[in-house]
């Protein structure tokens, strides 16, 4: 494990004006690359804890240590990055997960985002782009309307436990991914009112995230996510019909 942080004696520039550094847990098995990226992120004002594999990351959180964002490589030894996502969730770690990987093919990005990652960054984009995206994600997580992790949200037969990204329907676990949980929380917390496609997409990732083909390509991704969510609820309750669509606008969780 390695730790890199910003120079306390350095003068902040316009891109580093933060109340405190953003803490990143970075998992990458290439020691040289991990050290290089950690050093560059430190120059951008981040504090980075580095790990060579998934079990080391899990041990880190098991000690009570904290971070704000998890940065994962895909091809990790013992536990691939994509398989760490559900393990983190089962352990009650609901932090934003970003993949930093050389596997830039759309199929991998799709798997990562569907699995609950909030972003997928090609290593070829460089650390300055990565730093901008990490800061956007951290800023989004700090919004005052973000749910408190110790809250339990109740909406009719739906129970949400934000601390573990768990959704229960009639007291049965629906087995949602982190991104799916965020969508359900957004819809249910606005029960009776419609939520736009863009708002749903932003909650899956962060405000301004660009994805999908074409100007409105993100709507296809939102429809696919809603379809998966409905199927999971219907696996628990075949009569589930709480999510309505308003064509060309968005979705609504029916008012209790």
- Do 43 and 169 lie in one domain? The reply is no
Taking residues 150-179, what's their average pLDDT? 87
What are the backbone dihedrals phi and psi of residue 245, each rounded to the nearest 5 degrees, phi first?
-110, 135
Strand partners, 60: none
Domain CATH number, residue 26 = 3.40.50.2300
Q: Which residues contact 176 (CB under 8 A, 6 or more apart)?
A: 165, 166, 167, 184, 229, 232
Strand order in the sheet with 119-122: 2-4, 46-51, 22-27, 69-72, 97-101, 119-122
pTM for this entry: 0.59
- Do 103 and 171 lie in one domain? The reply is no
Which of these ranges, 87-91, 94-98, 219-223, has the smallest mean pLDDT? Answer: 87-91
Q: What is the pLDDT of residue 166?
A: 87
Domain assignment present for residue 225? The answer is yes
- Do 25 and 127 lie in one domain? The reply is yes
Mean pLDDT of the residues in the chain: 83
Task: Decide which of 20 and 137 is more confident.
Answer: 137
Asked if residue 207 lies in contact with residue 140, where contact means CB atoms within 8 angstroms, the answer is yes
Segment holding 214, helix H or strand E: none
Query: What is the Cα 199 distance to its own chain's centre?
Result: 15
Strand partners, 69: 24
Domain assignment present for residue 74? The answer is yes
């Amino acid at each position: 494990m390695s730790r890199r942080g910003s120079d306390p004696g350095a003068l902040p520039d316009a891109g580093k004006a933060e109340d405190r550094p953003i803490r990143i847990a970075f998992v990458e098995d290439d020691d040289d690359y991990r050290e290089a990226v950690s050093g560059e992120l430190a120059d951008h004002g981040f504090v980075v804890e580095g790990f060579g594999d998934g079990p080391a990351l899990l041990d880190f959180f098991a000690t009570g240590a904290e971070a704000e964002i998890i940065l994962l490589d895909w091809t990790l030894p013992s536990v691939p990055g994509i398989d760490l996502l559900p393990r983190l969730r089962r352990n009650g770690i609901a932090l934003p997960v970003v993949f930093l990987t050389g596997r830039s093919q759309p199929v991998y990005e799709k798997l990562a985002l569907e699995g609950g990652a909030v972003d997928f960054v090609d290593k070829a984009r460089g650390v300055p782009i990565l730093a901008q995206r990490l800061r956007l994600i951290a800023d989004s997580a700090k919004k005052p309307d973000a749910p408190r992790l110790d809250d339990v949200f109740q909406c009719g037969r739906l129970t949400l436990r934000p601390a573990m990204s768990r959704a229960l329907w009639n007291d049965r676990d629906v087995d949602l991914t982190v991104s799916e949980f965020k969508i359900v929380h957004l819809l249910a917390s606005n029960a009776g009112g419609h939520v736009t496609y863009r708002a749903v997409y932003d909650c899956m990732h962060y405000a301004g995230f660009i994805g999908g083909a074409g100007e409105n390509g993100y709507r296809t991704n939102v429809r696919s996510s809603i379809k998966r969510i409905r199927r999971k609820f219907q696996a628990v309750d075949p009569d589930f019909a709480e999510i309505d669509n308003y064509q060309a606008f968005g979705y609504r969780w029916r008012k209790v």
